[in-house]
Amino acid sequence: MSDRRDFMGMALGGFAGLGALGALYAAKRTWDPLPSVKAGGFTTLDLSNVPENTLVVEKWRGKPVLIIKVPKNAKPNSAPNGHNENAYDDKRLVTVGGHKYMIVIGLCTHLGCIPDYFPEKNKFICPCHGGQFNAAGEVLKAPPPSPLVIPPFKITGTKVVLGEEGPEYKKLLAAGVVS
């Protein structure tokens, strides 16, 4: 009888172990980076065909990255407080192949929702709690506590390599635009 109990105990223990392994495997699969990211963690984007003032959504390390090519006639931000709704804040823009771009991680800095872009208003509105950002990613309306985050990048011609800290990104770091 005790042999049978021992066998049942071992069998149950084995099933529990398999279950735990399965759960671990599922968790690992969920948290694994995408295959394209595994090759060094960099994503290279060619911006040469990006249309003006149109939201382009890419993916980098499992996060959405939002890109907007600033229209040529757009006025830089001239508001004294630096938070003008319909203007672009030059210091947060990235120049690639002679054009200016906003490149940010598309997660609201309040609780991480993905904000929607309204090109006719040049601003983002977060669907979760109504936070707003201008087209340079600066906060226009709370609750987001800080601007949309600029990911590390390196510029090579008309291409941007996300995940690498090039000289342009280091300048933003030195200027305190990113941290």
Residue 116 touches ligand FES, criterion: CB under 6 A: no
Pattern of binders to ligand FES over 54-73, x per CB under 6 A? Answer: --------------------
Selected binder of ligand FES within 45, 105, 108, 139 (CB under 6 A): 108
144 near ligand FES, rule: CB under 6 A:
yes
Q: Is 148 in the site for ligand FES (CB under 6 A)?
A: no
Q: Which of 69, 92, 100, 110 binds ligand FES (CB under 6 A)?
A: 110
**Could you tell me which stretch among 29-37, 54-62, 104-112, 170-178 binds ligand FES (CB under 6 A)?**
104-112
Q: Please give the full DSSP string across the chain, using - where no structure is assigned.
A: -HHHHHHHHHHHHHHHHHHHHHHHHHHHHHHSPPHHHHTTT-EEEE-TTPPBT--EEEEETTEEEEEEEPPTTPPBP--TTS--TTSB-GGG-EEETTEEEEEEE-S-TTT---PEEETTTTEEE-TTT--EEETTS-EEESS--SPPPPPPEEEETTEEEETS--HHHHHHHHTTS--
Taking contact as CB under 6 A, which single stretch among the options 7-15, 49-57, 58-66, 106-114 is the one that binds ligand FES? 106-114
Spatial separation of the C-alpha atoms in residues 104 and 60, rounded to whole Å: 11
Q: Which of 43, 96, 131, 147 binds ligand FES (CB under 6 A)?
A: 131
Stretch that binds ligand FES, among 12-20, 81-89, 103-111, 165-173 (CB under 6 A): 103-111
Name the site residues for ligand FES (rule: CB under 6 A): 108, 110-111, 113, 126, 128-129, 131, 143-144
